[in-house]
Structure 1
Amino acid sequence: MDNKTLSIVSYITVIGWLISYFSSKDNLSKSSLVIYHQKQSLGLAVVGIAYGLISRILIMFVPAIGIIFSLVSLLLFVLMIIGIVNAANEVQKPLPIIGKTFEDKFSFIK
């Protein structure tokens, strides 16, 4: 797979991220585009998983706030689409709201 495809695939679930990571790990010419989008998509996945766990616990106690949590889930989906569009356009642009946080994290991605 080329670098653009690996960048796009990294946003499609955690399994897609793993495919992207291990496919690009063997590639000696791993580009900064792939590294950048792998960090962004892993950050988005971490936020999504943490959000899912917290929201399920809170909804057990206060079911009425489920609608609010549904809107936040939609926001996470929109962030994923924005990341895919950025990767398809080969742009290293951080995701809105959470992207700047993950630009210098995950040092194991090289």
Structure 2
Amino acid sequence: MNQQEINEGKTLAFVSYLTIIGTIIAYFMNNDKKNPFIGFHTRQSLGLWLTYFVLGWVISAVDSWYATLAFWIFFSVLFIFGIVSALGGKSQPVPLLGDLFQKWFSRIGQ
């Protein structure tokens, strides 16, 4: 991945983290370009959003303010990490699950 691809892909990489709809938009807009930087961040954000929804469903069954607060802090930190990485032009996976997201969603953005 060269610097020109990174510079061209920063906007869509950022958009992919905003909402699940942003991830879908970034995926479809990158289908023609096949920019590896956008593909990397699309895989990261898709993994984060899917994990967010699954764990959110589990946490909603637990009636604990502490569990809910920990859930929000955890995902806020991961999403901020991804956004800062995208805007900084880095292809750095999010902590804990980022490498797994790259492996699980390897066909996205290729």
Q: Which has the larger radius of gyration?
A: 1
CA offset at residue 103 of structure 1? 1.5
Q: Is 1:17 the counterpart of 2:16 in the alignment?
A: no
Quote the Cα distance in structure 1 between the aligned partners of 2:36 and 2:107: 14
**For each residue in 1:77-100, what CA deviation from the matched residue of structure 2 results, as whole angstroms up to 9, or x when unmatched?**
111011011011111111012212
Q: Is 1:94 the counterpart of 2:97 in the alignment?
A: no
Q: How many pairs were matched up?
A: 102
Aligned to 1:62: none
Unpaired runs of 5+ residues, structure 2, are 1-7
Q: Is 1:73 the counterpart of 2:72 in the alignment?
A: yes
Unpaired runs of 5+ residues, structure 1, are 60-64
What letter matches 2:10 in structure 1? K
Q: Note if contact 2:13-2:86 (Cα within 8 Å) is conserved in structure 1.
A: yes
CA offset at residue 102 of structure 1? 0.8
Aligned partner (choices 37, 40, 51) of residue 41 of structure 2: 37
Aligned to 1:52: 56
Q: Which has the higher helix share?
A: 2
After TM superposition, which residue ranges in structure 1, 4 or more long, deviate above 3 angstroms?
Answer: none
CA offset at residue 13 of structure 1? 0.9
TM-score w.r.t. structure 1 length?
Answer: 0.85
